[in-house]
Amino acid sequence: MLAANDYRGDRTATAVGPAGALGYRWWGGRPGKSPDLHRDADGTWVACAGALVPAVDSPAAALARRLREGDFERLDGAFGAARLHPDGTLELVRDPFGVRSLYWVRHRGCVLFATELKQLLAVPDLPVELDPAAIHKYLTFSFVPGAAVPIAGIRRVLPGEVLVLRGDTAASRPWFTLREEVTPIEQGPAAQRIWKRGRAAVSRRLLGEPRVGLYLSGGLDSSAVGVWLRDLGADVQAFTLDFGAASVEREEADAVARHLGIPLERVPVDPAELGRRLRELAWTLDLPFGDPVTGPHWLLGRAARAAGLSAVFNGEGGDQLFGGWTSKPMVAASVYGPGYGAESPEQQYLRSYHRFYGLEDQLYTPAFAARVGPEGQRRSLIASHLGEGAAPTTLLNRIRLTDIALKGSQNILPRAERMANAHALDARVPLFDRRLAEASFTLPPALKLHGACEKYVLKLAMQNRLPEAIVWRRKFGMSVPVTDWLRAGGPMDDAVEAALGDEAVRRRGLFRPEYVRALRAGHDSPNEVRRRRVGEKLWTLLALETWLSVFVDGRGRRP
């Protein structure tokens, strides 16, 4: 199992006893990593992959104490940990926002667990069969939400959760919950609070490296992280994606880098190369991720590694904490009310992913449709955040929490971590700092969405620290030209034909060939007006088929 993710470190340690065994892999000499497995005074063994924030010499030792004492006050970081008791009780714990993962499965009377799916599949006689219900959810979200994964029987610990396995029982409890605790505050003090917390979040993630990387898109969030890094005196090398003529925020990235006085490397994105690397990307991602930004992220990581860096910062999280694409559509839907399209906020939210929700009859084969499980599975994933009875009293915070729990914790963070770690880079995500997130939920929602202005309080905090055009312009968003990539005759045509040609689609048996064919011909739903949605849908299918070929057909072996 340890050999299955050898790119994750150059050192390993194992501990084997009558109750079970632990294994751990890490990069020796990296600050903040556990130097070994930890044997606690109470006889338990603890393995911790990742690091805590602020950094400690041994996250495993620190977590041992916390789990022993039930103290999760201010616990933060990017980690997945296991604590094995002498009586065989196993505790599995994940970081608050899901940067690192933890999977487990019962097999031959034992519990197997690992931070990556491929490690479990390395067990030779573990059954590998599709879980259609998990794939059904993936096709709605473009990532796999919840505790189930697309391999039947394998489960995932949720972010911010402790799972206790004892005998045949499995009991989970959350150790971290973001709560809405709004207190009145004026704009100025609110902006100062966010400035301080953001700066502290970045500071806590600087671990003495001589130089760090920054993925700089030209948008507000990554620019804000750049501001804080420079304010802390960090030596920064920035990287930005270059899609050639299709680039959207290239000039903005240049402007920010000049303003901050940091060098900026443009990383060209060659879709043909990404097409050749699809299987490798799928293997590294470990789960299917249907957002085409994953390949470009991989290229950014390669550039950062080539520059000699070991840690990269990014601006992920700004949308989830302070704004985001879903806020305004959901506000619009709520104001006009049900009766227009979807009937409930949950259904509206599912539709906002613009993948295959509502298109199941057109996409799924009858055989697949019959196996995806009962109605309501997808809505149940978000009901606790968005439905009636959800804790936040304000609509905006319900939407924010839903985005954090779904998009942030189960999509954006894990894939960013894996694409960085594919090149032995630590991904540092300060906007998903626990204390910053908690602060954001003390703010009146009108400081997040102020009129039509998203991320208002972050903009106030960055005012006078970034060019006005960067702070106050309407959000544009990075747009991967995926429809162009995947069109017939385009740079990924061979890959698309191999994965989504009629023969391949029939062989897999999940999708109707005629629907996939129509999509490949550029025919989306008649009322879909955005061209990029065709490409996004196709990429979702392409990523899934590639993942299936690597992880189901190939049992997770390195391609």
Instruction: Give me the residues that bind another protein (CB under 8 A), please.
Output: 215-217, 219-223, 225, 241, 248, 291, 293, 296-297, 314-316, 318-319, 324-325, 328-329, 331-337, 339-341, 348, 351-352, 393-396, 407, 411-412, 416, 431, 445-446, 449-452, 474-480, 525-527, 529-532, 536
d(CA 544, CA 285): 11
CB of 330 to another protein, least distance (A): 8
**Nearer Cβ to another protein (196/533):** 533
**Nearer Cβ to another protein (199/407):** 407
**Nearer Cβ to another protein (221/545):** 221
CB of 46 to another protein, least distance (A): 33
CB of 303 to another protein, least distance (A): 14
Number of Cβ atoms within 10 Å of the Cβ of 406: 24
Q: Roughly how many angstroms between the first and final C-alpha of the chain, as a whole number?
A: 17
Structure tokens at 370: 């019959």
DSSP state of 559: -
CB of 254 to another protein, least distance (A): 16
**Nearer Cβ to another protein (85/475):** 475
CB of 280 to another protein, least distance (A): 20
CB of 224 to another protein, least distance (A): 8
CB of 8 to another protein, least distance (A): 23
**Nearer Cβ to another protein (96/481):** 481
**Do the Cβ atoms of 322 and 450 come closer than 8 Å?**
no
The residue behind tokens 């991720």 is 289
**Nearer Cβ to another protein (33/407):** 407
Structure tokens at 313: 């910062």
455 strand-pairing partners: none
**Nearer Cβ to another protein (106/533):** 533
One-letter amino acid for residue 547 of the chain: W
CB of 529 to another protein, least distance (A): 4
d(CA 437, CA 441): 7
CB of 312 to another protein, least distance (A): 12
d(CA 98, CA 157): 9
d(CA 456, CA 468): 13
Cis geometry, peptide bond prior to residue 54 (ω within 30 degrees of 0) = yes
CB of 480 to another protein, least distance (A): 7
H helices of 154-232, where?
187-204, 220-231
Give the H or E element holding residue 334.
Answer: helix 327-336
C-alpha neighbours within 13 Å on the C-beta side of residue 362: 14
Structure tokens at 373: 């499980």
**Nearer Cβ to another protein (51/404):** 404
**Nearer Cβ to another protein (132/315):** 315
Strands 11-16 and 21-26: antiparallel
d(CA 75, CA 545): 38
**Do the Cβ atoms of 146 and 381 come closer than 8 Å?**
yes
Burial category of 486 from C-beta neighbours within 10 Å (exposed 0-12, middle 13-18, buried 19 and up): buried
- How long is the chain? 559
**Nearer Cβ to another protein (15/359):** 359
**Nearer Cβ to another protein (111/447):** 447
Burial category of 364 from C-beta neighbours within 10 Å (exposed 0-12, middle 13-18, buried 19 and up): buried
CB of 243 to another protein, least distance (A): 11
The residue behind tokens 């709520």 is 334
